[in-house]
Structure 1
Amino acid sequence: MALPNASTPAYAILRDRLRSAILSGDWPPGTHRTLGALALEHSVSISPVREALLSLEGEGLVEIRQHRGAIVPLLDAKLFADLYDLRGALQSLLARRAAERATAAQLQGIATHAAAFAAAAERGDPAEALRHNEAFHAAIDSAADNPQAQAVVAARTAFVNAVRLRLGYGPERMRRAAAQHEIILAALRARDAEAAAEAAFAHVESAKRDLLERFAEEQGRKPNP
């Protein structure tokens, strides 16, 4: 989380604090908090609390309940599947546009992150792999030059990445993802928009299946209430 400066709005500072609390588990899924309680806890007025929650609702991290504050949604397979379905559609679009618009310098940047991810996968370093995976896709999204689609993808990346970091990757997932990155990169270099879109969509679908398997395993390990 970036450090705030004197010009950072109060709601943005609070939004970042609340996002961190949600992603770290300090504000657990299924837990409800009122605007008044949040305002008191963070020593701010109701207005920045409301703005912060609206922003987090746009990221899918909270659900606002009228006159009642907000609740962090329960994590379930449908939530993850829905998030990945959205990512698949948008990243397919962005890969298509990147194949049409990417500059030579942008392609080199994408290749650099693909190689760094592959190296992290070879070392078995999931945290570093995740960092370069995010950078790889962000570089493609930037090359696509569609700020609206890019903003929607970015808004939901933190949530998925936090869950991925906790659950880890399945056997061979990082190696398979590295190979999929190379397929996407080859399509981008060839300026083959259709192949880039198809490869990006297949990559997201593969990631979705792996995360859902990890989540199902975690749920199976939890004791029954």
Structure 2
Amino acid sequence: MAPTTASTPAYAILRDRLRLAILDGTWPPGTHRTLGALALEHQVSISPVREALLSLEGEGLVEIRQHRGAIVPLLDAKLFADLYDLRGALQSLLARRAAERVTEAELTGIAAHARAFEAAAKRHDAAAALRHNEAFHAAIDGVAANPQAQAVVAARTAFVNAVRLRLGYGPARMLTAARQHETILQALRARHPEAAAEAAFAHVESAKRDLLERFAEEQGRKPTP
């Protein structure tokens, strides 16, 4: 979640609040809320509520229903798998394009993010690791210069990061991710588009497997009704 400042739009503040409410169960899956009810609860007008819900719909966190506001779909393993499948396809594409056009200055910046992630991983700082991981991938995506693909990836990143922060990482996952970052970086340095695409896709698939394992563990710990 991006830090809130005085210039942060009302809809963005509300979007982040609603995302957290969905992820922590305050707004339970399968339930719907009207725009009016949300506006009253959060002391805002209808307009930012509508914008916040549209943004969350883009992340797959709500489904907007005509005349009924929005409903939270079931947050199940398939949703997470689908999000990672989409992310894998797009980040593979972006890594390929980045390898075709990356400059030495851009490689230096990408490498700095990779080192910062590895340092956070070694001290088991999940929150810092998430920030540096996002910066590493955003730097690569930026080099690719495909704003449409970047927008789709960015729209899902906040959701995936929020889930990841809640569920945590499996044993050695962060250090494995650090090694995978280095493999991607080597492919970029070699200006090898296919190797970069393959490394990026393998990295996302590995992250997907780990998150699905964490999710399955959490579901197993929940008491049955």
TM-score, structure 1 as length reference: 0.92
Q: CA deviation at 1:43?
A: 3.1
Distance change (3 Å), C-alpha of 1:3 and 1:197: same
Which has the larger displacement, 120-129 or 20-29? 20-29
**Structure 2 residue aligned with 1:90:** 90
For residues 128 and 13 of structure 1, what CA distance do their matches in structure 2 show? 22
Report whether the alignment pairs 1:139 with 2:129: no
Local SS of the residue matching 1:224: coil
Which has the larger displacement, 8-17 or 213-222? 8-17
**Which stretches in structure 1 are left out of the alignment for 5+ residues?**
none
**Structure 2 residue aligned with 1:209:** 209
Q: CA deviation at 1:123?
A: 1.5
Count of aligned pairs = 223
Report whether the alignment pairs 1:164 with 2:128: no
Report whether the alignment pairs 1:122 with 2:122: yes
Local SS of the residue matching 2:151: helix
After superposition, residues 74-113 of structure 1 pair within 5 angstroms as 74-113=74-113
For residues 104 and 207 of structure 1, what CA distance do their matches in structure 2 show? 28
Q: Is the 8 A contact 1:39 1:46 kept in 2?
A: yes
Deviations 1:147-197 (A, max 9, x none): 110010000001111111111111121111111100000000100000000
For residues 17 and 220 of structure 2, what CA distance do their matches in structure 1 show? 31
For residues 220 and 19 of structure 2, what CA distance do their matches in structure 1 show? 27
Amino acid at match of 1:176: T
Distance change (3 Å), C-alpha of 1:61 and 1:193: same
Distance change (3 Å), C-alpha of 1:23 and 1:221: closer
Q: Is the 8 A contact 1:95 1:200 kept in 2?
A: yes
**Structure 2 residue aligned with 1:3:** 5
Q: CA deviation at 1:15?
A: 3.1
For residues 130 and 155 of structure 1, what CA distance do their matches in structure 2 show? 16
TM-score, structure 2 as length reference: 0.92
Distance change (3 Å), C-alpha of 1:20 and 1:77: closer
Local SS of the residue matching 2:176: helix
For residues 121 and 153 of structure 1, what CA distance do their matches in structure 2 show? 23
Amino acid at match of 1:111: A
For residues 48 and 116 of structure 1, what CA distance do their matches in structure 2 show? 36
Q: CA deviation at 1:16?
A: 4.0
Amino acid at match of 2:102: A
Distance change (3 Å), C-alpha of 1:65 and 1:196: same
Q: Is the 8 A contact 2:4 2:13 kept in 1?
A: no
**Structure 2 residue aligned with 1:198:** 198
Identity %: 86
Amino acid at match of 1:204: V
Amino acid at match of 2:109: G
Q: Is the 8 A contact 1:4 1:13 kept in 2?
A: no
For residues 9 and 217 of structure 1, what CA distance do their matches in structure 2 show? 37
